[in-house]
Structures are given as structure tokens and as C-alpha cells.
Structure 1
Amino acid sequence: MLSRPSTISDEAIAHAVATHWLPEIADISYLPWGFGAHHWRAIGGGTTLFVTLDQLEPRHTATSLEAAYAGAAALAVSGLDVVCAPLPARSGRFTVDVGAGALSVTPWLEGRSPAEAEAREPRHAREVVLALAALHRAPPPDGLRSWTPQVGPEFADELRVRTAEPWTSGPLAEQARVALAAHDDAIKRWTDRYLELAEKAFSRRDSWVPTHGEPHNGNQVITARGLRLVDWESLALAPPERDYADLLDAADLLLPDPMMVELFALDWRLSEIVEYARWFAAPHTGTDDDHTAMEGLYEELAGGAK
């Protein structure tokens, strides 16, 4: 996120990291990176950590987030070098409740994330495909959650009701409401098709595999030791196509099921619409994050017309 969280200070984050992971904190600095979680860099005793504050609802419970990060750690221990896994706290758990969310840490990676154009280059895409193939072959970690649909059959009708009256929750609320209301028929159509495809996926549940969920370029880090994947909070059992959304140009290495590809394109779109609808129906002040969210909403609504 571009903006610091309003519910917890840098000092409180430093205290939590010192209590649970790294006793001597010499520096804590907020990182305006990514979108969805908040991040810091913590330095102390010759060690640098990447610190993440995740919000739980609606994507997770405390149990499911802990299982995702514990699962990533188990995959790393099993020999999957592509996994940059969270580090356990002194308690042995991988997440710590700090009131404002769940805190976790991973080692600091020296490297860089590829730009979108670089990530689409065949050589790099093949490297990602091979890394994901290894992940998909791995035995599922104990306690790993299974993918479930992001919305139910009532979603489109409920959203239509919610957008029938003006929103007054912030400076971008009405703009978001109008955009959502203008696409209510499309959202209904997407939802119906999504749930139809989800039923097909569930009928093949015995073939589901561990999936990262969001292996896009922003969650890839090119290091001196090769490619690493970060941000494992979406780790779940699912059809392998869940990880293929940005990799279809590398089709010579893939044999994706077109229906499952469509399912997870809709999964992403509808989950984003859910999040942005919630975002702008809630109080907001027009921050840089709010404007980024508005751009994201427009992108997802327009994406269905392609």
C-alpha cells in the first residue's frame, strides 16, 4: 500500500518484530509497495527482514492465513527453492496478531521484480512455468485450505440493491457506485458463468494441486540464485490453471484447460470487484491508494468487454 496504515504505528510494528522475531531493531522503515497489504523493512543485528501486515477478512481467517504461510514454509523445507517462505516467530507460528492485522516476516531478498514486459518474454515466462510445475507436483502441505468461489449466486442481485442509492462514504464513493451500477447486467452474467465453471472444477477435485494464486511479476524476485516467488498468502489447493493467468504466452509448455483458464480469469475479476465495492462503500478520504483502487475497478469492469 502507498499509505501507512492508520491503525498502527511504525514503532508498534518494530516492537512486535523485536518481541517475536528480531530482538535488536536498529531501523524500521515503511515501504510503499504493492497493493493490499502493508510492508516494512526491519534491520537489526546484521539481519534484514521484510515485514508484512495482512488484513484478515474477507480473504482469510486467522487460521487460514497461518495455514497458508505454514504451508509455504513446509514447501520450502521440502526443497522447493522457488519459495521465499515466512520465518517462524518464537512461538513457532508464522503470524502474530497485532490488533491491526496479522504480522509476518520473510528474509530480505537482494534482487528485483521484473517489469511486465520483461515478465512476458519467453525465456522468463518459461522459467516461471517450470517453477510452478514443480510447485504443482509437490505433495500438499498439511492443513492447506482448498480454493472456494469468491462470490455466491446472490452476489449480483445484492450488489444491484446496494448500488441503487447514492453512496456518501467518501469523495470517490459515488463515482464507484455509478461504475458498478452501469455494469450490473455484466456482473450478473459473469457470476452465473463463474459458478457454472466452479462446479466443473469441483467435479475434478481429486486432481487439484498446491497453487500460489498470484504468481504475477510483482510477486516474482530475480536474485543471484534464481527466481523466487514471494507473497504466499493465497496458497491453496486448486486446479493448476489458477496460476496460469499471466503465462498463456508460454503455451508451448502448458496444456491448460480453457474452461479452467476462464474460471480463474473470472475469479480474479469478481474478487477484485468485491473488494473495490467494499472499499468505496466504506469511509475513505481520497488518498493515493483510493485513486489506485478506482483505476483497478475501472480496469476490471472494462476487462470483461475484451
Structure 2
Amino acid sequence: MLTPPDDLPEETLRSALARHWGLSADSLGYRAVGRGSHHWEVTDAGGGRWFVSVDDLGTKRLGLADPLDAAYQRLRAALDTARRLREHGCAFVVAPVPTRDGESLVGVGDRFGVAVYPYLTGESFQWGEWASAAHRRGVLDLVVAVHAAPAATSEVALVDDFAVPHRDELELGLAGARAPDTGPYARLAARLLVEYAAPVRRLLARHAELADAARARPDRMVLTHGEPHPGNTMLGADGWRLIDWDTVRIAPPERDLWLVEPGDGSVLDAYAEATGVPPQGEMLELYRSWWHLADVAEETSRFRAPHTGTEDDDESFAILRSVLDHIGTLPAGGTGPR
């Protein structure tokens, strides 16, 4: 996120770091990186450096009736799974540092979850920025390792239910429900949804068909990262790493593969050769469609909630418009590459 949350005082964060991790923060600087979570770089009294991630649990809910505690428990399960992966030999997994009580995540106030990570040096990348064929292949090797991880790593992992988060608010928007006057983008977003309601509904219907096909093959489920795009990778002195494990789930392998495949089949062929599991075109389509729909639904939820027109709001509205434009170009019954 580009801006820190208004209702999380810095002193509250400092106190949580001291109480739960024993970190006395000499300096605490906000890092405007990534989307979805807030990040700080922390230097402690001994000169050690840490990377702190804070999630607004309100944005992690799956719908209006979803309690904040359920969002917290899902996030904790994902981070616990990342720790298990690292403990079972996946050294490329950037997992959270446990608290004094051995927890991966700590609740702060009513709405925030805090996790601490080691500060890593290396080359970082942006969404869509595959640096080379070697970058793709390096990440594919990590994905293969996650998919082949021992069963013990998946004991607390959640199973993907293929649901579109904030589907209830998306449906309100598609139906033309009056938008609450929550901020500068509320009515603009509402008008966009009405304009694109027909293609979005077609994509929802296609996604439901594909989800049913996935549920019929539980034998294909593996542990997946969920978002192994370039922005969630780093290149360090010890090789490639995968970061941001809040999306880890048990799911069909295509949940990861569609983000790595360049469109010429090379990654899919390499995966089949490495694992003996041929990727399925319909499952790749399932996750492309889910990604588009989740983007639209999440931004819809954002603008139905109070907002003030921050840089994050500006970026979110641009994403909403771009994804809806793309959905509007899709042929009936397909999602196309993106």
C-alpha cells in the first residue's frame, strides 16, 4: 500500500513489536511497496533490521457478514503454513519470525494483524516484470517444490473454495443498487459496474462452471502459493525466493501455473516433465477468471466503504477501470490471457 493506515498509531505498532517479539524499534520507516498489506522497515536497538507487515483485516473479509476473527484465522493459517514449508526444507520461503510465544501473527486493536520478517537484501521485481526466461524457470522450480512438499506442511492449510471474495457487494453493484456516499470514487465505481454488468455476469457464470469441474477432481489438489508473480519474487545471493504467503491454499496446480506460463506452453511442458502432471487448460482458465473477478469485487468493496481519495484509492480505481475494460473484451465462454 502507498499510504499507512490512519488509525494505527506508530506508537501502537512499536508497543506490539516490543511486547510480542522483544524488538525495541530505534527507527520505523513506512515502505510504500506492494498492494494489500502495509509495510515498515524497522531497525532495532542492536542494529538489526526487520520487515514488518500489517494487514487490515477488514480487507481480508470474504463478505459483509464475514467476521474479522475469521479473516484473522485464515491469515494465521497461511503464515503458519509458510513456516512449516521452511521448516521442512523449503529454504526459499520467506516465512514470518515467530513471536516469543511461537505465533506467526499477532492481532493489534480490533482490525489489524501484524507479522515480522527478516530483512532481506537482493533484487526485487514488479508485477508483470519477468526479467528473463531464467527468472520464470527459477520461479517454476520453486512452485514445483511447493507442490511436492511433504504432507506435514499442509496440515493447517486451507483448501481453496474458489469463491470470489466480496461477491455480495459485487452483486449489489451489478444490480444497480444505490451506491453509498462513502467517498469520491463511490458513484464512479457504481456507474462502471452497471455499465459492465453483462460481461461480468457472463464471467461469473463461466467461473462457476469451471469451479464445479475443479471440485470434481480433489485428487489433483496440491499446496499452492497462489500469487507467484514477479512482484512476489526476489533474487538473493542464495538464489530465488518467494515472498507474501498470505494466499497459500490447497488447490489445483494451475492456481500457480497460470501466472508463470508465458503463453507458448513452455512452462506448462516443463511442469509436466518435472511432476508427471499435465496442466489442464480449463483449470488455467478457472484462475484467470477468478483473478479478474476478485480484482473487480475487491475494488468494489473498497469504494463502498469510506475512502478519501488517497493515492491507494486512485490506483485502485485505475485497476477497476482497467480490469472491467478487459472483461468487456472477452469472448463469451473464455477469459483470454492477461
- TM-score normalised by length of structure 2: 0.85
Match of 2:321 in 1: 298
- The 8 Å contact of residues 38 and 53 in structure 1, kept in 2 or not, is answered as yes
- The 8 Å contact of residues 94 and 242 in structure 2, kept in 1 or not, is answered as yes
Match of 2:67 in 1: none
* Separation in structure 1 between the aligned mates of residue 198 and residue 260 of structure 2, nearest angstrom: 30
Query: Match of 2:234, SS?
Result: strand
Match of 2:295 in 1: 272
Are residue 188 (structure 1) and residue 188 (structure 2) matched?
Answer: no
Q: Spell out the pairing of 1:94-243 with structure 2 (5 A cutoff).
A: 94-99=104-109, 100-115=111-126, 118-119=129-130, 121-140=132-151, 141=153, 142-151=155-164, 157-161=171-175, 163-243=176-256
Shift of 1:27: 1.1
Mean Cα displacement is larger for which, 57-66 or 140-149? Answer: 57-66
* Separation in structure 1 between the aligned mates of residue 255 and residue 53 of structure 2, nearest angstrom: 24
Q: How many residues align?
A: 305
Shift of 1:46: 3.0
* Separation in structure 1 between the aligned mates of residue 29 and residue 38 of structure 2, nearest angstrom: 11
Mean Cα displacement is larger for which, 163-172 or 140-149? Answer: 163-172
Match of 1:63 in 2: 73
**Residues 251-284 of structure 1, C-alpha deviation per residue, up to 9 Å, x if partnerless?**
4413421100000011111111111111111121
Mean Cα displacement is larger for which, 111-120 or 208-217? Answer: 111-120
Where does structure 1 differ by over 4 angstroms across 4 or more consecutive aligned residues?
Answer: 115-118, 152-157
Shift of 1:151: 3.1
Query: Match of 1:94, SS?
Result: coil
Match of 1:283 in 2: 306
Amino acid at match of 2:140: V
- The 8 Å contact of residues 14 and 24 in structure 2, kept in 1 or not, is answered as no
- The 8 Å contact of residues 156 and 191 in structure 1, kept in 2 or not, is answered as no
Mean Cα displacement is larger for which, 189-198 or 240-249? Answer: 240-249
Query: Match of 1:119, SS?
Result: coil
* Separation in structure 1 between the aligned mates of residue 161 and residue 177 of structure 2, nearest angstrom: 28
Query: Match of 1:103, SS?
Result: strand
Match of 2:49 in 1: 48
Mean Cα displacement is larger for which, 276-285 or 144-153? Answer: 144-153
**Residues 122-164 of structure 1, C-alpha deviation per residue, up to 9 Å, x if partnerless?**
1110111111001100124211101112239977654323x34
Query: Match of 2:258, SS?
Result: coil
Cα–Cα, structure 1 residues 148 and 120, in superposed 2: closer, same or farther, change >3 Å? farther
Amino acid at match of 1:83: V
Mean Cα displacement is larger for which, 284-293 or 39-48? Answer: 39-48
Match of 2:33 in 1: 33
Over the aligned positions, Cα root-mean-square deviation in angstroms equals 1.9
| Identity, % of aligned positions | 34
Shift of 1:20: 1.0
Amino acid at match of 1:228: R
Match of 1:78 in 2: 88
Cα–Cα, structure 1 residues 28 and 123, in superposed 2: closer, same or farther, change >3 Å? same
Are residue 253 (structure 1) and residue 270 (structure 2) matched?
Answer: yes
- Gaps of at least 5 residues in structure 1 are none
* Separation in structure 1 between the aligned mates of residue 41 and residue 108 of structure 2, nearest angstrom: 17
Amino acid at match of 2:242: L
* Separation in structure 1 between the aligned mates of residue 313 and residue 147 of structure 2, nearest angstrom: 36
Query: Match of 1:34, SS?
Result: coil
- The 8 Å contact of residues 164 and 181 in structure 1, kept in 2 or not, is answered as no
* Separation in structure 2 between the aligned mates of residue 223 and residue 156 of structure 1, nearest angstrom: 40
Match of 1:2 in 2: 2
Query: Match of 2:93, SS?
Result: coil
Match of 2:100 in 1: 90
